[in-house]
Amino acid sequence: MIFRGADVVFRDGVRQCDLRTENGKIAEIAPAGTLEGEGWDLAGRTVFPGLIDMHVHLREPGFEKKETIETGTMSAVKGGFTQICCMPNTKPVVDNKVVVTYIKARAKEVGHCKVHPIGAITEGQRGETLAAIGGMKAAGAVALSEDGKSVRNASLMASAMLYAADFGLKCLCHCEDASLTEGKVVHEGYYSTRTGLKGSIRAAEDILIARELCLAESLGLPVHICHVSTYSGVQLIREAKARGVQVTAETCPHYFTLTDEAIQDFDPDTKVNPPLREERDRLAVEQGLKDGTLDCIASDHAPHHEDDKNVEYDLAAFGISGLETSFALSYTELVKKTGLLTLPALAAKMSANPAKIVGLAGGEIAVGAPADLTVVDLGEKWTVNPAKFVSKGKNTPFKGMEVYGRVKMTVVDGEIKYRED
Ligand code: DOR
């Protein structure tokens, strides 16, 4: 298959090229207009290395009312993602090889993109006993995480990092001190005071970021920090990186696009964990992305059924359905509006870096690499309309927002898995 004449995003720049794929790999990269044969004319389109989201909730098994592997991966390819890593807070929890095997098998059967399961750190995510890490790795788990909460016991977390390293896995850390977040639904600040909603302070996140950094430094092991939302958390990671701690970190589009101002109408779709914070935090997250403190952008796709969201703010579930807006929000805010990132830098945050952190093949357009491609019309303006999401989760605080960058086609291992029309 030939993909002809697009602006192709390489690691070192953007060039107009023809691409030829064969047997699921990129077989040839040639000057635009030089490759002959059956294919697609993509003049005016931009081709990114297949996007990779390392933080997705697929909800299956157990919460199929919210999302399934089938609908979640359909949502992924519509959003331009060719590979996703799915979090273990399912029912049963992904804490043994049987559940890992189930997810992989189901994804092979009904999935639209590559799915990489993440195993829980502790059995049942109860924070008491380490999960069967070796078995999960053997079955195909690519990382470990207790996402949704932190492992409370620091000694157990240290053991988890040691065992994970023995099996070549990393811990992806959700950072939240439960003693500071219990009963809290938003960030504590001006808007929590005005609305009367209970807020948690930045320290709830920062204390755990600091603990995980200390453990990684003391043990000389790598650690990854999930969905960073505070200015102070960005600074902790920046300082740790500067002194050589093996830390990588992600943030999500909602933390650089919104602030807690969005909660003032009590829209439960703005309820997310960690919470939307202040302008100071939003700007720091952007700077963190620009200077490399934050390595990647993940959606934290957290689809919920309207029964869980269309209720009083205090009772609503935490989370944003993010796969179908992640690319456009990131491109619009970080490239088009602010110029903070170049297109290759955006591709690094949404493809090469997550691939490297989790150890996946892919992440760049090169001869011999998997033919995973995301074809986008960067000039197209569109309005976020959750009714058009293919995800079961329609919960987005971005409804009605105008964004740039429309995914036109998603190619996984050389096969077209999504085409807009
Ligand atoms: O808002 C969130 N929702 N944050 C998390 O960390 C978990 C997620 C979920 O599973 O719904």
For the segment 101-112, what is each residue's pLDDT rounded down to a tens digit? 999 999 999 999
- Cα Rg of the chain, angstroms: 20
Pocket test for ligand 1, best of 176, 300, 304, 395 (most atoms within 8 A of CB): 300
Name the domain count of the chain: 1
Any domain includes 8: no
| pLDDT tens digits along 38-94 | 999 999 999 999 999 999 999 999 999 999 999 999 999 999 999 999 999 999 999
CA of 415 to the centre of ligand 1 (A): 31
Residues with CB under 6 A from ligand 1: 57, 89, 147-148, 174, 272-273, 300, 302, 317-319
Residue nearest to atom 1 of ligand 1 (CA): 319
Residue 350 has pLDDT above 90, yes or no: yes
> What pLDDT does 41 receive?
96
Pocket test for ligand 1, best of 273, 307, 313, 395 (most atoms within 8 A of CB): 273
Any domain includes 296: yes
Please report, rounded to a whole number, the percentage of residues in the chain having pLDDT higher than 70: 100
> What pLDDT does 365 receive?
98
Nearest-atom index, ligand 1, CA of 227: 6
Amino acid letter for position 98: V
Nearest-atom index, ligand 1, CA of 320: 1
Any domain includes 388: no
* CA contacts within 13 A on the Cβ side of 326: 33
Nearest-atom index, ligand 1, CA of 174: 6
Pocket test for ligand 1, best of 147, 299, 313 (most atoms within 8 A of CB): 147
Residue 273 has pLDDT above 90, yes or no: yes
Contact 15/342 with Cβ under 8 angstroms? no
| pLDDT tens digits along 373-404 | 999 999 999 999 999 999 999 999 999 999 99
Pocket test for ligand 1, best of 87, 252, 318 (most atoms within 8 A of CB): 318
Give the domain range for residue 214.
Answer: 49-367
Nearest-atom index, ligand 1, CA of 226: 6
| pLDDT tens digits along 183-241 | 999 999 999 999 999 999 999 999 999 999 999 999 999 999 999 999 999 999 999 99
Q: Which residues of 293-325 are buried (b: 16+ CB within 10 A; e: fewer)?
A: bbbbbbbbbbbbbeebbeeebeebbbbbbbbbb
Among the listed residues 118, 42, 78, the one whose alpha carbon sits nearest the alpha carbon of residue 326? 78
Structure letter (DSSP) for residue 276: P
Contact 210/236 with Cβ under 8 angstroms? yes
Residue nearest to atom 9 of ligand 1 (CA): 302
Summarize the confidence of residues 267-296 as an average pLDDT: 98
Any domain includes 245: yes
The CATH number for 295's domain is: 3.20.20.140
Nearest-atom index, ligand 1, CA of 89: 10
CA of 219 to the centre of ligand 1 (A): 28
CA of 359 to the centre of ligand 1 (A): 24
Any domain includes 332: yes
Contact 79/113 with Cβ under 8 angstroms? no
CA of 20 to the centre of ligand 1 (A): 39
Residues forming the active site: 300
374 CB-contact burial (10 Å; exposed 0-12 / middle 13-18 / buried 19+): buried
Residue nearest to atom 6 of ligand 1 (CA): 148
Alpha-carbon distance of 321 to 223, in angstroms, equals: 26
Residue nearest to atom 2 of ligand 1 (CA): 319
Residue nearest to atom 4 of ligand 1 (CA): 273
Q: How confident is the model at residue 421 (pLDDT cuts 50, 70, 90)?
A: confident
> What pLDDT does 94 receive?
98
CA of 175 to the centre of ligand 1 (A): 12
Summarize the confidence of residues 286-306 as an average pLDDT: 98
Any domain includes 21: no
Residue 405 has pLDDT above 90, yes or no: yes
> What pLDDT does 387 receive?
98
Any domain includes 410: no
> What pLDDT does 383 receive?
98
| pLDDT tens digits along 305-329 | 999 999 999 999 999 999 999 999 9
Any domain includes 98: yes
Alpha-carbon distance of 5 to 398, in angstroms, equals: 33
Nearest-atom index, ligand 1, CA of 149: 6
